[in-house]
Amino acid sequence: MPNQVQNPNAKIKKVLCAISGGVDSAVAAALLIKRGYEVTGGFIKCFTDPITGPACWLNEKRDAMRVCAKLGIKLMIFDFEKEYRKAVVDYIYREYKAGRTPNPDVMCNKYVKFPLLIREAKKLGFDYIATGHYARLGREILNPKSEIRNKSKIPNTKYKIRLLAAVDENKDQTYFLHQLKQKELQQVLFPIGDYTKPQVRELAKKFNLPVAQKEESMGICFIGEVPLRQFLSKKIKPRKGKIVLSNGTVVGEHTGLPFYTIGQRIGVSFPPPICRPRECGDPVEGRLQRESSDWIPNRVGNDNDTKPFYVVAKDKKKNQIIVANENSPLLYKKEIIVQKVNWIAGQPPELPLTCFVRLRHRQPLQRCRIRNNEPAYRTGRLGIRVDFVKPQRAVAPGQFAVFYLPCRSSGGAKEGKNNECLGGGEIK
């Protein structure tokens, strides 16, 4: 990690390393110790709910304590429950109620984990914080005449931090980090960004860490094993409505708009009246049959294939969900508007720009062209328009669009790879 290794002649740097109780953060702490940093563990208590109980955090705390005991370092507990509830939990309720698709991990990183941990680290005299995210950092000197790349040799030279994708493309987490700003990235270390997940597992065994064999957590951690619908029902009163085709044909009944998202495979609660083509004049998409837990259309027209329905839109005013078959053009978008854009460099790139975009974590990068959203700029609101080279499936409002460019060789990144994260924003 050439961009994160200490100057051997400098004083030992103090790092507050976020320890979640998982294998990634444990290995991150172990690597920092091996590289000569003075490391202290930091565990974040985020959320307790009457439905979920202490959720994951209580068990994770025990594992974090075991990790720190093995590494011989102190563990500090930070109670960010109040801030987390406001920034993440309330946000989830608000977005789902509005018919949008939220991403709690992005909001947690933006409003809780990084800014609050950095705040506490400064108070306690730490030089950096560190996390177990799969990401890398690169430094770019803001002096074109200088050929010196080592910031430690020119302490008064300004530079900016570039957020680079991890070596492990399958685990890369820059999508969740795209809302971070320069002032935060200046104080962050990502020790495992140069390793693949299998390599991290091997390092955990090498360091004899107690969580070496621990499985990865899935889903929304603070909910635990409680179904999302049950969790949302606590504050969102479900209101039943119709499931319709784009032409208005009713094909079923939904249990509440917040419980569905764009692109979701959907079943319907009852079959509509069977209409014979000779009587109606045209083949209908309405004849349904029960198969497993889903209602699926049975042979549309001359098509012998049975195909499920997918959500293509939600009409909040009419309280309706619009559905179509998988290959329907209604399920695809050629362009979108992205608002509340955060540019990691601190300012937007020169637009228009041909680059890559990711609409979901682990989605393969998609070619696109971004430009100013002219109506928004004329009215003083920020926003950009994204034109896809290839139409994108199941684009949901509330999701995040994150932009990337091929790396320019800094920070050990490989030439020609699409691995510099420029930033991103919410899909309108």
pLDDT tens readout for residues 6-64: 444 457 899 999 999 999 999 999 999 999 999 999 999 887 665 555 555 678 899 99
* pLDDT at site 376: 58
Q: Are 201 and 23 in contact (CB under 8 A)?
A: yes
Band of residue 287 on the pLDDT scale cut at 50, 70, 90: very low
| CATH H-level superfamily of 332-427 | Translation factors (2.40.30.10)
State the chain's mean pLDDT as an integer. 81
Which residues of the chain form CATH 2.30.30.280? 238-327
Above 60 in pLDDT, residue 5?
no
* pLDDT at site 286: 34
Average pLDDT over residues 191-211: 96
* pLDDT at site 133: 97
Active site residue 355: no
Distance CA 219, CA 361 (A): 13
Average pLDDT over residues 190-208: 97
Max alpha carbon distance in the chain (Å)? Answer: 87
Above 70 in pLDDT, residue 290?
no
* pLDDT at site 280: 34
Band of residue 375 on the pLDDT scale cut at 50, 70, 90: low
Q: Give the tens place of pLDDT for each residue, 89-135.
A: 999 999 998 989 999 999 999 999 999 999 999 999 999 999 999 99
CA 427 vs CA 103, 326, 337: distances in Å: 12, 22, 6
Which residues of the chain form CATH 2.40.30.10? 332-427
* pLDDT at site 235: 84
8 or 258: which leads in pLDDT: 258
Burial class (CB in 10 A: 0-12, 13-18, 19+), 45: middle
Average pLDDT over residues 203-208: 97
Q: Which of 46, 56, 68, 108 is catalytic?
A: 108
Residue among 340, 324, 320 nearest 332 (CA):
324
* pLDDT at site 419: 86
Above 60 in pLDDT, residue 229?
yes
* pLDDT at site 408: 55
What would the 3-class secondary structure string for 281-342 be? CCCCCCCEEEECCEEEECCCCCCCCCCCEEEEEEECCCCEEEEEECCCHHHEEEEEEEEEEE
Above 90 in pLDDT, residue 157?
no
Bridge partner residues of 388 (DSSP): 368
The number of residues in the chain equals: 428
**Percentage of the chain surpassing pLDDT 90?**
62
Structure token digits, residue 36 = 């000569």
Which residues of the chain form CATH 3.40.50.620? 14-134+171-229
Above 60 in pLDDT, residue 275?
no
Determine if the pTM surpasses 0.85: no
Q: Are 38 and 14 in contact (CB under 8 A)?
A: yes
* pLDDT at site 143: 56
* pLDDT at site 23: 96
Bridge partner residues of 320 (DSSP): 242, 315
Side chain identity at residue 132, one-letter code:
G
CATH of domain 238-327: 2.30.30.280
Q: Which of 221, 355, 368, 421 is catalytic?
A: 221
**How many Å separate Cα 401 from the centre of its chain?**
10
* pLDDT at site 268: 54
Average pLDDT over residues 134-151: 65
Active site residue 280: no
Q: Give the tens place of pLDDT for each residue, 291-327.
A: 323 333 433 333 333 468 999 999 999 999 999 998 8
Task: Provide the CATH topology of domain 14-134+171-229.
Answer: Rossmann fold (3.40.50)
Band of residue 238 on the pLDDT scale cut at 50, 70, 90: confident
Q: Are 12 and 124 in contact (CB under 8 A)?
A: no
